[in-house]
Amino acid sequence: MKKKSIVSLIRCYAEHNDIGFKNEAFDIAREFENSGDQEIAEYIMSLLNDANSFVPQIDDNKSMYFEKVEIYNDSLPLPKVIMNDVIGIINAVSKKMDVNKFLFEGKPGTGKTETAKHIARLLNRDLYEVNFDSLIDFKLGETSKNITEMFDEISKVRNPSKVIFLFDELDALAINRVKDNDLREMGRATSSFIKGLDKVGKDITIIATTNLYKDFDKAIIRRFDTIIDFDRYSNEDLIEISNNILNDYIEKNKDLNKNSRLFNKIISLMNPIPMPGELKNLIKTAVAFSNKNNANDYLIRLFKTATKNKEMKIKDYQGLGFSLRDIEVLTGVSKSTLSREQRGK
C-alpha cells in the first residue's frame, strides 16, 4: 500500500469527509487486489458495500465518456420469450459466473435500451451510458486513444457490483472493418474496442445495443457472452403490450373510457403493428391530445392513425369488422341514426 493512500485516508477521516474516505478505501482495496491479496481486498469491499449505495461510482463532473442514466419504475412491455432472457441475464450476473457482456440486437423501438434500464433497476445498480460524442474524434488516432482511456475508467470503477455500463447503439464502433466504405480510422477504433473488451474484468457488467447487427464486426460479436434477439414479437404480443401501455395511461387519466375490445380492433388494423417504442408514442399522443369532454376521443384519434385519416362510410367500417356500437363510438353518430342510414342505402 502506498504512503500517499494512507495519508489521504487519514486526512479524509480527520476532515469528516465520508465520501472521500470510502473512495480512498476502495482504491486501497483495488491495490491489494492488483497485488494478489484477494482475501483482504474482498474483506475491505464487504465492509464498505453496505454503506456504498450513496457513493457515486463515477464522478459525473470528471468523466468525459460516461453519463448516468435516470431510471424510473415504469413497466417493461416485453413478450415472455424475451423476458425469460432478461431473467436469465439477472441470474447470470447475480451468480458471478463470468457471463457479463451482453449484446441486444433488434429493430428500433423493440425495447433494448429500456430493458437495460430495467435490468439495472432490478439489480439495484447505477447505469452509466457511453457518450459517443466525446468518444469519437475525427483527428487521426484520437478515437482509439479515447477508447483506451474509456476502458481504463471502466477498470477503475469503485465497486463493480453497483454498476452496469451501457453502450447504446454501438454501431458507430462495431461496423465491419472489411467493408469497402469503412474508414481506416474507424477500423483502428474497432480494433481498440475489441482489445478493451478483452481486458474487461469478470466483475464488470456491460450491455450493448445495436440496430445493425448484420453489419457488425464478427470479432466483436464473439466478445459478447450472450446475444439477445429483440425481433421476436408476434401480433398477439404487440396487442397485449399495447393494452399494458394503455392501462398505465388510464390509471393516470381516470376520465378515459376503457374499451379493450374496440381498442384491440383498432391496434389490429395497423399493418404492421408498430414495435413497443412507437406504440407507446402513438398511444401517449392519442391520450394527450384527446378531448377531456369525450372519454372515447383517444380511440377516435388512434383509429384515424390506423386508417391514415381515410374517409369512411358505414359499409367501410363494417367491412373492417366494426359493429354499429363501435361505429357509434368512432363517429359520434347514434346507433339509431346509423341503422336508419344503413336501411336507407
Q: pLDDT tens digits, residue range 74-101? A: 777 889 899 999 999 999 998 888 899 9
Q: Which amino acid is at 19?
A: I
pLDDT at 234: 95
Rounded to an integer, what distance in angstroms lies between the CA atom of residue 283 and that of residue 113? 20
Average pLDDT, whole number, for the chain?
85
Average pLDDT over residues 220-247: 95
Rounded to an integer, what distance in angstroms lies between the CA atom of residue 208 and that of residue 187? 19
| Percent of the chain surpassing pLDDT 70 | 86
Q: 166 near 174, Cβ under 8 Å?
A: no
Q: 99 near 137, Cβ under 8 Å?
A: no
96 or 272: which carries more pLDDT confidence? 272
CATH topology for the 66-229 domain = Rossmann fold (3.40.50)
Question: 210 - beta bridge partners?
Answer: 105
Average pLDDT over residues 249-269: 93
Average pLDDT over residues 320-337: 92
Question: 175 - beta bridge partners?
Answer: 216
285, burial (CB in 10 Å: exposed 0-12, middle 13-18, buried 19+): middle
Q: 23 near 45, Cβ under 8 Å?
A: no
> pLDDT of 175-207, one tens digit each?
654 444 445 666 778 888 999 999 998 889 999
Domain range annotation of the chain:
3-49, 66-229, 235-343
